[in-house]
Amino acid sequence: MKTRVTELLGIEYPIIQGGMAWVATHELASAVSNAGGLGIIGAGGAPASWVREQIQAAKKETDKPFGVNLMLMNPEADEIAKVLVEEKVKVVTTGAGNPAKYMDMWKAAGIKVIPVVASVALAKLMERGGADAVVAEGTESGGHIGSQTTMTLVPQVVDAVSIPVIAAGGIADGRGFAAAMMLGAEAVQMGTRFVVAEESTVHENYKDRIIKAKDIDSEVTGMSTGHPIRVIRNKMTREYLKLEKEGATLDELEHLTLGALRKAVVEGDVMYGSVMAGQSAGLVKKKETCAEIIADVMNTAQKLLNR
Ligand code: TUI
């Protein structure tokens, strides 16, 4: 399928893998790129040296384009922004902030810049700043989220900018893909479904928890801290939400979540860890290779769109 996004990125299918902290390693990114989508390495909160190693490993595993997501709250964000230029990364997505201060440097290096936005205002600002496309991410997504739903955000961003829009949040199959196209998107970004991919290196307990998840199993922590994070409900979230309701301090809340994502992804502690996932977890039913996931999404979508 050809869209402005496949042309821009030089990929076969308009499917981008979310740049998930701790989850989106070079193994997952190169598998998605080799399957014809755009794989993304997620810098998350990792040091710049780790990001460089991941990029170098991915280059050995694929000759197709791949990208890196810079999570802008990373304390080494400035350094990572430079590593992306030095390593000649082709595509950068950003999350959890405004990447304006890096835009000129990245554009001068010929990098395709695709900020993730959760509002029309930021989408317009990013277009003015030289972004090549935007990911419009709805509140159905996992991890750090905005408040608009995908259904309402995507068409409003499409109307507000001329650059291509990539839809994210709640999309995990060909039906979601087709719906996103109807809203005016020219590609989709999927995270949760790729967490469960065979090539994903996350702990099996994490994958099993997503596969087991029902529609209502996610909730949002951190509303009061200004950093709302969607995760699968467990002992940690119950404790967190109780403390949040009782007016706990930022310090107390942070103590509970500190290292919690690592605990879930690496140690497989899905009771006390932070099991970030989108509302689409209820749609994810089995472990498959990235190639099988992409083929399934595209087959269903093509049938629906050609009707
Ligand atoms: O970034 C994400 N999702 C993430 S990042 C992450 S790691 C993390 N861990 C602990 C605390 C915070 C983050 C887990 N999941 N998605 C992209 C995204 N960006 N969604 C929403 C936004 C966003 C929100 C506010 C982008 C910009 C923004 O404000 C811009 C401004 O003006 O500062």
- Note the pLDDT tens digit of each residue in 115-130: 999 999 999 999 999 9
Nearest ligand 1 atom, CA 137: 20
Please, which residues have CB within 8 angstroms of residue 264's CB and are 6 or more apart in sequence? 203, 205, 206, 270, 273, 274, 275, 276
What size, in residues, is the chain? 307
pTM beyond 0.95: the answer is yes
Element (H, E) at 190: strand 187-190
- 141: helix, strand or coil: coil
The encoded tokens of residue 53 equal 């190693």
Per-residue pLDDT averaged across 45-72, rounded? 98
C-alpha closest to that of 260 among 280, 239, 279, 290: 239
Q: Residue 26 pLDDT > 80, yes or no? A: yes
Which residues are bridge partners to 189 per DSSP? 16, 168
Q: Residue 224 pLDDT > 90, yes or no? A: no
Q: Residue 69 pLDDT > 90, yes or no? A: yes
Please, which residues have CB within 8 angstroms of residue 277's CB and are 6 or more apart in sequence? 142, 192, 195, 209, 210, 213, 218, 230, 231, 232
Residue 252: pLDDT band (50, 70, 90) is: confident
Rounded distance from Cα 306 to ligand 1 centre (Å): 35
**Protein residue closest via CA to atom 24 of ligand 1:** 96
268 Rama sector, left if φ>0, alpha if ψ -120 to 50, beta otherwise: left
CA distances from residue 60 to 26, 56, 227 in whole angstroms, order as listed: 10, 7, 36
- 17: helix, strand or coil: strand
Nearest ligand 1 atom, CA 125: 32
Q: What is the pLDDT of residues 131-169, one digit of tens each?
A: 999 999 999 999 999 999 999 999 999 999 999 999 999
Nearest ligand 1 atom, CA 261: 9
The DSSP bridge pattern shows strands 187-190 and 218-221 to be: unpaired
Separation of first and last alpha carbons in the chain: 16
Percent of residues, the chain, with pLDDT higher than 90: 93
Please answer whether residues 77 and 70 qualify as being in contact, where contact means their C-beta atoms are separated by less than 8 angstroms: yes
Q: Residue 258 pLDDT > 80, yes or no? A: no
The encoded tokens of residue 299 equal 């087959």
Q: What is the pLDDT of residues 170-220, one digit of tens each?
A: 999 999 999 999 999 999 999 999 999 999 999 999 999 999 999 999 999
Nearest ligand 1 atom, CA 69: 1
Q: Residue 226: its pLDDT value, please?
A: 87
Angle, vertex CA 25, rays to CA 23 and CA 27, nearest 5 = 120
**Protein residue closest via CA to atom 4 of ligand 1:** 144
Rounded distance from Cα 19 to ligand 1 centre (Å): 11
Please answer whether residues 227 and 55 qualify as being in contact, where contact means their C-beta atoms are separated by less than 8 angstroms: no
Residues with CB under 6 A from ligand 1: 21, 44, 71, 73, 95-98, 116-118, 122, 137, 143-146, 227
The encoded tokens of residue 52 equal 């460089």
Residue 31: pLDDT band (50, 70, 90) is: very high
Nearest ligand 1 atom, CA 44: 7
CA 66 to chain centre: 14
**Protein residue closest via CA to atom 10 of ligand 1:** 144
Rounded distance from Cα 305 to ligand 1 centre (Å): 32
Burial class from Cβ neighbours inside 10 Å (0-12, 13-18, 19+) for residue 262 reads: middle
Find the range with the poorest average confidence among 22-31, 41-50, 148-157, 238-247. Answer: 238-247
Q: Of the residues 20, 22, 71, 74, which should be mutated to test ligand 1's pocket, given the most ligand atoms within 8 Å of the CB?
A: 71
**Protein residue closest via CA to atom 15 of ligand 1:** 143
Q: Residue 255: its pLDDT value, please?
A: 81
The mean predicted confidence, pLDDT, of the chain is 97
Rounded distance from Cα 44 to ligand 1 centre (Å): 10
